[in-house]
Amino acid sequence: MPEARAGAAATPAQSGKDTKDDQGTRSPDAGSPDAGSGAAGRPRRRQARGEARIAQLLEAAAGVFCSSGYNGASTNAIAREAGVSPGTLYQFFPNKEAIAIELGEQLMHRWRETYGAAFVVSHIELPLDRMLDTVLDPLIAFNCENPAFAVLTHGSEIPGVITREHDILHASMLTRTEQLLGAYLPELPADQVARTAAMAFVLFKAGLDLVMEHEGEEREAYIRELKSVMYRYLEPLVCDTPDGVTPARIDTP
């Protein structure tokens, strides 16, 4: 988030003195003619190195948060995981909270892109089982590939800015689920679509927790179970239409 980056940006290079970068070479301060004016004036190579270091620290933080939880994580552990000194870490982030906010922001941005691509109206043309594959597979894959996402979006100790952003995402996903089901089951009354979407959303979250607790073949088995539960819940709605309404034709296994 902007406030986190603002704190992270307060590096020694802004103190008005010559500084050393993490490689030990001296670089001009922000006020020198060689440095240019502000961040845009810094040499491009130095900017690239800084971004690479930030990415390295965030990757290390993701691992530490997953293994120790947010409360159990520390800046020293993150620096150690990244293979840098704590001093190097503090050049980019003032504390653990700033690291979590930056990492959470990146993950939630990617999550928006993932579910935005999954919840598209064109998927209503697919049979129910294939639609579930198309919608659920990228959502499950994202969570399996980014376990830190679950760590940083659950728990009372998580920074409030992450919690608020996650609440917004939660509401947006529920709305997209309702829109997709409403388009797929146009014969259902709006209030029933809303209830069905809410129930399907809860079923997915509960099943995803089980998926995330396992690995390998057992994880794949739970993914199949999750899809089976979702299919068995939604399939009767495809056929149970009000009198006089032609049901949508869906191919089923």
Q: Label each residue of the chain as H, E or C.
A: CHHHHHHHCCCHHHCCCCEECCCCCEECCCCCCCCCCCHHHCCHHHHHHHHHHHHHHHHHHHHHHHHHHHHHCCHHHHHHHHCCCHHHHHCCCCCHHHHHHHHHHHHHHHHHHHHHHHCCHHHHHCCHHHHHHHHHHHHHHHHHHCCHHHHCCCCCCCCHHHHHHHHHHHHHHHHHHHHHHHHHCCCCCHHHHHHHHHHHHHHHHHHHHHHHCCCHHHHHHHHHHHHHHHHHHHHHHHHCCCCCCCCCCCCCC
Please compute the mean of the pLDDT values over residues 140-168 and round it to a whole number.
94
Please compute the mean of the pLDDT values over residues 86-92 and round it to a whole number.
97
Residue 20, pLDDT score: 36
Band the pLDDT of 240: cuts 50, 70, 90.
low
Global model pTM greater than 0.85: no
**Which amino acid appears at position 36 of this protein?**
G
- Tokens representing residue 238 in the block: 């495809």
Residue 27, pLDDT score: 37
Band the pLDDT of 155: cuts 50, 70, 90.
confident
| pLDDT tens digit sequence for 102-148 | 999 999 999 999 999 999 989 999 999 999 999 999 999 999 999 99
Please compute the mean of the pLDDT values over residues 219-236 and round it to a whole number.
97
Residue 239, pLDDT score: 74
Residue 166, pLDDT score: 92
Report the alpha-carbon distance of residue 191 to residue 199 in Å, rounded.
12
Residue 48, pLDDT score: 83
Report the alpha-carbon distance of residue 20 to residue 13 in Å, rounded.
8
Residue 34, pLDDT score: 39
- Tokens representing residue 171 in the block: 């509401």
| pLDDT tens digit sequence for 45-75 | 558 889 999 999 999 999 999 999 999 999 9
Residue 169, pLDDT score: 93
